[in-house]
A and B are shown apart, each in its own frame.
Chain A
């Protein structure tokens, strides 16, 4: 019997499913709220009970990332690793790694000032998708189709003046059916995949109400998902794919703290069970 620790900042259905599944499998579980935890350079491994292995499940990316750094400092095994969370949390870094590792990915362009972003869009042409380098649930993602909207968006980014607002991430529009695919990888396996259909608009995120439908895991999908997982360092990941009319599957995003309540409703495999087994095998190695 092992003890699984779930670090959270908002207890969602996923965290409850993981807890319930671990108990069913005969393991002890413990949940630790990152918001009410204190760690210091003087902390020792046994000061807080983190069990045998931690599944880091914070909804806040930066909170989870920094908490993971602390866990690794304490030599507590944690999934995913800091390095993986760091890479997946930044779309620019993810895109570069996917390309570097030969994973089919949309053409993506980067600019580092508003002026140069405008020049770049002018050169590449419309339509083009603008995305924040950090952010989830489809926020801030929109297709730019004309000069007026583009100028307004760039101006808004200049005014917002967040630390990442002057990093421009622009991506080609993929000609695809009105859906994308979310695959979950656990180690070297794709354990489930689903189509996420748009609700008549550009975005397909389940968080936005996208409708889940099971997707067959093909050899092509498996191959590129495993390659993508390797590119960011492996672990438990949510991989987003699009069906390009010409190139076949392309991967546009790799997510670190995967949400799976939508997929769990339609998946053949028991997703929480696969995640817990992976975590336990990780510490047994």
Chain B
């Protein structure tokens, strides 16, 4: 899986689940795992932290 921002390789851990975040090790862009079916993974850009985020 390559980063849509900088094309670097992003490693997705085997136990990663839909909804989890992964970061590009090179440019730092955050992505959310949108779909995961075995080794087929779909990423989408993660939401940025909102004003109402937190507890």
Contacts and interface: CB of A to CB of B under 8 A. Distances in A.
A213 to B, nearest CB: 19
A252 B55 CA distance: 14
A33 B18 contact: yes
Contact of A139 (B17, B18, B54): B54
Contacts, number: 53
B54 A10 contact: no
Interface string B32-55: 100000000000001100111111
A11 B52 contact: no
Interface string B4-48: 000000000000011111000000000010000000000000110
Contacts of B19: 8-11, 15, 31, 33
- Interface size range of chain B in the complex: 10 to 19
A59 B53 contact: yes
A8 B52 CA distance: 15
Nearest to A253: B55
Contacts of B54: 59, 61, 135-137, 139, 207
Nearest to A256: B55
A251 to B, nearest CB: 14
A134 B55 contact: no
Interface string A18-36: 0000000000000101010
Contact of B17 (A11, A63, A238): A11
A16 interface: yes
B55 A136 contact: yes
B32 to A, nearest CB: 7
A160 to B, nearest CB: 10
Contacts of A56: none
Contacts of A33: 18-19
Nearest to B54: A136
B55 A10 contact: no
8 contacts: A11-B18, A11-B21, A60-B50, A61-B52, A135-B51, A136-B53, A136-B55, A258-B55
Given A31-B18, A238-B55, A257-B55, 10 more contacts: A8-B19, A10-B46, A11-B17, A16-B17, A31-B17, A61-B54, A137-B53, A137-B54, A137-B55, A255-B55
Interface of B: 17-21, 32, 46-47, 50-55
Interface of A: 8-11, 15-16, 31, 33, 35, 59-63, 134-137, 139, 162, 207, 238, 255-259
